[in-house]
Amino acid sequence: MNHNSINNSLSALSILDLRLFVHLGNSVSEQIEAQEISIDITFSFAVPPKAIYTDDISDTICYARATEVIRDIAYEKPFKLIEHLTVSIYNGLNQYLIDKGYEGISLKVAL
């Protein structure tokens, strides 16, 4: 493959329909029974990950680790609002991306 032929415009990879059961609700009684949520995550890169050239997982996002970050946050505590859960997941994933040297993430959390 001619590496010069790769378009360096924005590229994206997604994890779609990650389903988790979380304790979510404004009152303690609402939080007792876990509710299923579906999460869509899109990782956007201004420059494609180095892994497209190296075929080496250490040169890209580990999706198992990314979903682990999401699960750890979602299961850490009950959440009153979906908005707070969303920003908590976003912040956790953003820190993971910063640690990996990437920028640019869009996140969608849907009930």
Q: What is the pLDDT of residues 60-100, one digit of tens each?
A: 888 899 999 999 999 999 999 999 999 999 899 888 888 87
Q: What is the pTM of this model?
A: 0.81
Q: What is the pLDDT of residues 102-111, one digit of tens each?
A: 765 555 555 4
Q: Which long-range contacts (CB under 8 A, 24 or more apart) does 13-17 make?
A: 13/42, 13/43, 13/45, 13/49, 13/61, 14/40, 14/41, 14/42, 14/43, 15/39, 15/40, 15/41, 15/63, 15/66, 15/67, 16/40, 16/41
Q: How many helices (H) and strands (E) does the chain have?
A: 4, 3
